Structure 1
């Protein structure tokens, strides 16, 4: 099996990068939609309905599948012989960052439900939370590229 993973490594890595890009785009955009929803989407009519539809489709149709593919490909890369040296610090930093991204994704899913039920957070709070994926991304990219 490990020989098979080594033979398809460039394909798995390519798919992993594409999935991560899609996932990150959603992680950057969904909190911004929440800001608009919290500040301009009051009431049951428009624009609240439009925000709810956009939020739901972004999460279910783009972010969830992208996260799943990123995880599957990432685990396949970790299992490929010679790719990860667990005696170094960088894979542990990346793993922590990926777990942080996954937690943030799940937090966003919970906030989508909260907004749909009319109990979301203020727009300012979503603005602050919008910085979380950026900080995690910086840590992950530096760890993977610099390999400290």
Structure 2
């Protein structure tokens, strides 16, 4: 199971690296000056590729996580694990929100400011912090 745990950690780190960087691209997209279509297209291409790659990294992270959950038999009486699973659902929701926001950028319908995306960019940091604390400290 240690190999599975190692792969889970690597894919989680990789998945979250994408979730950390993608909103930074959104900040730049939101602040592209009018008439800079070449820059907008370049940033859209970067965001598209990063989101596809990040999604491919999320899948093995979730598969290895499920394998650990089943393999270790964690569940009953492990309140920390239920909380961590909730954090995972929030991370998946955030990932989905990134897809939705990128669709709006592609369609030219973004209504949010670069400042908003700077705050949005902090969400995965808080999610990762919560997950790590729950797994390491097991507070309940």
* TM-score, normalised via structure 1 length: 0.88
Residues 1-148 of structure 1: matches in 2 within 5 Å? 9-40=1-32, 42-43=34-35, 45-60=37-52, 62-82=53-73, 84-120=74-110, 121-148=112-139
Task: Quickly say closer, same or farther: Cα 1:147–1:15, change in 2 above 3 A.
Answer: same
**Unmatched segments (≥5 aa) in structure 1:** 1-8
Contact 2:75 2:82 survives alignment (8 Å):
no
Task: Quickly say closer, same or farther: Cα 1:42–1:106, change in 2 above 3 A.
Answer: farther
**Unmatched segments (≥5 aa) in structure 2:** none
Q: How many pairs are equivalent?
A: 138
Please, what is the CA RMSD of the aligned residues?
1.4
Residues 79-132 of structure 1 show CA distances to partners (whole Å, capped at 9, x for unaligned) of 0034x2430221011101100000000000111110011111221111111111
CA apart distance, 1:13: 1.1
Task: Quickly say closer, same or farther: Cα 1:42–1:98, change in 2 above 3 A.
Answer: farther
**Hey, which bits of structure 1, 4+ residues long, moved more than 2 A?**
41-44
CA distance in 2, matches of 1:19, 1:88: 24
